[in-house]
Amino acid sequence: MLEAASSTRGKGAGVSSWPPLIVVLGPTAVGKTELATRLGEALGAEIVSADSRQVYKYMDIGTAKPTPAQRRRVRHHLIDVVDPDEEYTLAQYKEMAYAAIDGLHAQGKLPLLVGGTGLYVRAVVEGWTVPRAKPDQELRAHLYARADQEGADAVHAELLNIDPVAASRIDARNVRRVIRALEVYITTGIPISELQKKHPPHYRVLRIGLTTTRERLYECIDERVDGMMTAGLLEEVRGLVARGYSYSLPSMSGLGYRQLSLYLTGEVSLDEAVQLIKRHTRRFVRQQYNWFRLSDESIQWYDVAWDCYGDVCALIRRFVSG
């Protein structure tokens, strides 16, 4: 698809000579994986995952990883990167994503950056300078304890005092990101917003967004969750615990795992846990649309209620050819 060449990321070559990067984004359950797999086959491309949960090993069903058949059809990168109890940061992801993208360009292949984690997609496409402050577990535990005792709004208010720019970007309910921003400031003395400067990479980027009506998307979510349960999601969670992975791990806070852990610890019934997965997934979709706005003119949106594969494939071919 491409002529093999060294990546021009970060160099001074003209825009027209920059290598292409195709981004396929959208909310969970909208059909990104299958469309990207079809595109990869047709275009000789490979997929670079932009999913913050699919990086974890042994967590296949609940994270909706590409099936073995899909991975045989098209090579996928940045899946099964770390164990569930390993720390994995945005800085690590960004570095690995650039390495994968640049490696594909060097081989003359087209990279497809595919996923619904807006933080990952934007960090790569916009070239965020991600703080590399090492995690301070003692400080982090103290901040989490404060959040539990005083509430999420209290720690968000502290962030607002020291870094109003970061506070305006981070939802108070996202306690993990609020605490990380506080941790960075306390350990470095520099607001995280100052450290997160943007240096866009020298790629020609085409953003393709998949969407549909909220009603249809919610139906797809319900079907997906039911399918996950049939496929053995409960057994997958039990297996993780049997391997020694704690319910308290960040990896186990993901959709499906957190709710089923409540069932396994006797806090809710199985039916209640399944309903919680569906409800929290719908809420997550609403959060995803805060990252990927339908009004964003840099994104070419397609409604998956119609078979958009042909149109998307033709658009990519025109874009790559310049």
> In this structure, are 316 and 281 located in the same domain?
no
Would residue 80 count as lying in a domain? yes
> In this structure, are 274 and 304 located in the same domain?
no
Domain total for the chain? 3
> In this structure, are 165 and 68 located in the same domain?
no
> In this structure, are 148 and 272 located in the same domain?
no
> In this structure, are 208 and 95 located in the same domain?
yes
d(CA 205, CA 186): 36
> In this structure, are 308 and 209 located in the same domain?
yes
d(CA 310, CA 303): 13
Would residue 10 count as lying in a domain? no
> In this structure, are 93 and 222 located in the same domain?
no
pLDDT at position 6: 43
Mean pLDDT by 10 residues, the chain (322 residues): 52 76 97 97 98 98 97 98 94 96 98 96 91 79 93 95 94 92 90 84 97 96 98 98 96 96 97 98 93 92 95 97 87
pLDDT at position 279: 97
CA-based end-to-end distance of the chain: 12
pLDDT at position 188: 85
Would residue 7 count as lying in a domain? no
pTM of the model: 0.83
- Domain of 205: which CATH number? 3.40.50.300
- Domain of 223: which CATH number? 1.10.287.890
Segments of 41-133 assigned E as strands = 45-49, 76-77, 110-115
Tell me the HSE value of 296 on the side-chain side, using a 13 A CA sphere.
20
> In this structure, are 206 and 89 located in the same domain?
yes
Q: Which domain holds residue 164?
A: 137-195
> In this structure, are 144 and 110 located in the same domain?
no
Would residue 2 count as lying in a domain? no
d(CA 277, CA 127): 33
> In this structure, are 167 and 58 located in the same domain?
no
Place of tokens 């806070």: 253
